[in-house]
């Protein structure tokens, strides 16, 4: 890119940033006015459409500005060393540093010696960990060797769900460390089996991720810490509360009326539980492996009250979604974060079992991250120029998830077009992709009785 083009692009990005910043400020002021209303409480973690759009424009534009002005080698090194920053955050979360800091003076901060004594980590080593996290504003260093929370780290205070989610991603990182050895293996590089992913190399096991988690303390050990099913269950539930929050309101659930929702592979029922709180006309069957469903009732009883369970609004059913679906003719079949765990071949098996159980008017709702490539898609909103159609850096988290799923299970995060292909292979058709204000979108499918795949 010649100098004149770079200058033109940079100016356009700055104008885009300025306009989006004014939108954000107006939306902040509007949201402050709603903060004490019922509407404001209901949408506490969901930005308004204007704020969501302006926010991802700003993140994308900042990423493009960095790409223009930062030294290329420095930028490559920043990406390469980002795993160290992630590890620093996992250490801070496990040590509950944010909670220690919350007890101190926010202006002066807490001394590294005091933090060290409360966490059991060497003060000299912990200093390096926390200082690393000041560079991306997770912690602040208001005076030398003293640290305080920022708005980011404050979210970790007494937040076991977020702490478990960060710990869970540390486990994913352990698997991802072995991804190069799998990708450069002439045999494993072509495998789509969940038993031949980087996870097996990292954890020295033949078990799949889910089998390993269910074994708990009986699982094979590797040179490090074991994985814990409880941590992963809480972490996955937290994903629903954070990443998927907009999918509870941006899809028209209320318009469905009184319907039965079969939550396939629903874990402890994270998505169904949130929907049950908001839409009392919906009833649920939550299906998953038996080791998971056994824990689900206690989660629901605590969150929704046991009388709500006794009315029959929810049932828990052990089920393997690679086998025939036992609930026939339900109004809605729901899957969240299921298909990204599996190859196209395995997804087709899962979807065909559901298709065979569906009535002609049944809905299949797939809640997943949807890959938005730099070439764009007619099924997703495109960013304003000069941003790439997918908003560039604003897609970094979904892109990172794709590497995580591949490392754990040989899984795949898919584009809209790839979801269409999957649906067709299973005798389904994609009706609409509901783009939500967050990382998780809702894909609506129905039976396609004219599909040539059924012949």
Residue 221: how many other CB atoms lie within 10 Å:
11
- pLDDT tens digit sequence for 278-322: 999 999 999 998 888 888 888 888 877 666 677 788 999 999 999
Q: Give domain limits for the chain.
A: 92-153, 158-232, 243-369+413-445
**Residue 199 preceded by cis peptide, ω within 30:** no
Q: How far apart are CA 389 and CA 382, in angstroms?
A: 4
- Give the C-alpha distances (Å, rounded to integers) separating 243 from 60, 120, 319, 382: 18, 33, 26, 21
Note whether 446 and 428 are within 8 A (CB): yes
DSSP 3-state assignment of 286? Answer: strand
Q: At what angle do helices 123-134 and 82-94 cross, to 10 degrees?
A: 120
Q: What is the pLDDT of residue 38?
A: 42
Catalytic residue among 146, 228, 319, 340: 340
| Averaged pLDDT score across all residues of the chain | 91
Q: Which residue in the block uniquely carries the two structure tokens 């944010």?
A: 98
* Annotation: CATH topology of 243-369+413-445: Rossmann fold (3.40.50)
Q: What is the pLDDT of residue 294?
A: 85
Q: Which residues partner with 317 through β-bridges?
A: 287
Higher pLDDT, 73 or 217: 73
Could you give the strand order of the β-sheet that contains 441-447, starting from the edge strand earlier in sequence?
314-318, 283-288, 260-264, 332-336, 363-368, 441-447, 428-434
Note the pLDDT tens digit of each residue in 267-283.
Answer: 887 899 989 999 999 99
Q: Which of 40-54, 95-109, 212-226, 375-389 is least confident?
A: 212-226
Q: Which two tokens stand for residue 193?
A: 């089996």
Q: Which residue has the higher pLDDT, 235 or 446?
A: 446
The answer to whether the CB of 187 falls within 8 A of the CB of 114 is no
**Which residues does 432 contact at the CB level (< 8 Å), separation at least 6?**
443, 444
Task: Just give the CATH number of 92-153.
Answer: 1.10.10.10
Q: pLDDT by residue (tens digit) across 19-50?
A: 999 999 999 988 776 554 444 433 447 899 99
Q: Is 340 a catalytic residue?
A: yes
DSSP state of 410: S
b/e 299-317 (16+ beta carbons within 10 angstroms → b):
bbeebbeeebeeeebbbbb
């Amino acid at each position: 890119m010649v100098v004149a083009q770079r200058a033109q692009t940079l100016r356009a990005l700055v104008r885009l940033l300025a306009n989006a910043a004014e939108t954000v400020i107006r939306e902040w002021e509007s949201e402050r006015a709603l903060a004490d209303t019922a509407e404001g409480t209901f949408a506490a973690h969901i930005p308004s459409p204007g704020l969501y759009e302006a926010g991802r424009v700003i993140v994308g534009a900042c990423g493009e500005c960095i790409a223009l002005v930062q030294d290329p080698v420095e930028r490559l090194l920043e990406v390469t060393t980002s795993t160290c920053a992630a590890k620093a955050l996992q250490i801070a979360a496990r040590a509950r540093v944010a909670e220690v800091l919350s007890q101190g003076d926010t202006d002066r901060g807490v001394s590294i010696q005091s933090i060290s004594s409360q966490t059991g980590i060497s003060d000299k080593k912990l200093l390096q960990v926390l200082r690393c996290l000041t560079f991306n504003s997770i912690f602040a260093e208001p005076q030398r060797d003293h640290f305080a929370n920022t708005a980011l780290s404050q979210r970790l205070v007494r937040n076991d769900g977020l702490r478990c989610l960060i710990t869970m991603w540390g486990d994913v990182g352990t698997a991802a460390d072995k991804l190069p050895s799998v990708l450069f293996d002439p045999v494993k590089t072509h495998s789509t089996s969940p038993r031949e992913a980087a996870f097996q190399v990292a954890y020295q096991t033949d078990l799949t991720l889910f089998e390993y988690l269910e074994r708990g303390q009986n699982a094979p050990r590797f040179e490090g810490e074991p994985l814990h099913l409880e941590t992963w269950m809480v972490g996955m539930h937290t994903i629903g509360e954070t990443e998927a929050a907009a999918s509870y309101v941006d899809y028209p659930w209320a318009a469905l009326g009184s319907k039965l929702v079969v939550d396939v592979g629903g874990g402890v029922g994270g998505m169904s539980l949130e929907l049950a709180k908001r839409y009392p006309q919906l009833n649920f069957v939550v299906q998953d492996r038996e080791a998971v469903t056994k824990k689900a009732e206690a989660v629901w009883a605590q969150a929704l009250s046991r009388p709500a369970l006794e009315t029959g609004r929810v049932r828990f059913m052990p089920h393997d979604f690679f086998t025939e679906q036992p609930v026939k003719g339900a109004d809605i079949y729901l899957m969240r974060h299921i298909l990204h765990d599996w190859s196209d071949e395995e997804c087709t098996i899962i979807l065909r079992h559901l298709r065979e159980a569906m009535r002609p008017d049944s809905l299949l709702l797939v809640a997943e991250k949807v890959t938005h490539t730099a070439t764009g898609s007619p099924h997703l909103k495109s960013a304003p120029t000069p941003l790439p159609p997918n908003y560039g850096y604003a897609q970094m988290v979904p892109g990172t998830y794709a590497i995580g799923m591949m490392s754990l299970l040989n899984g795949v995060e898919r584009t809209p077009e790839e979801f269409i292909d999957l649906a067709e292979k299973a005798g389904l058709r994609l009706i609409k992709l509901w783009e939500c204000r967050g990382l998780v979108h809702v894909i609506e499918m129905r039976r396609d009785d004219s599909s040539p795949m059924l012949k």
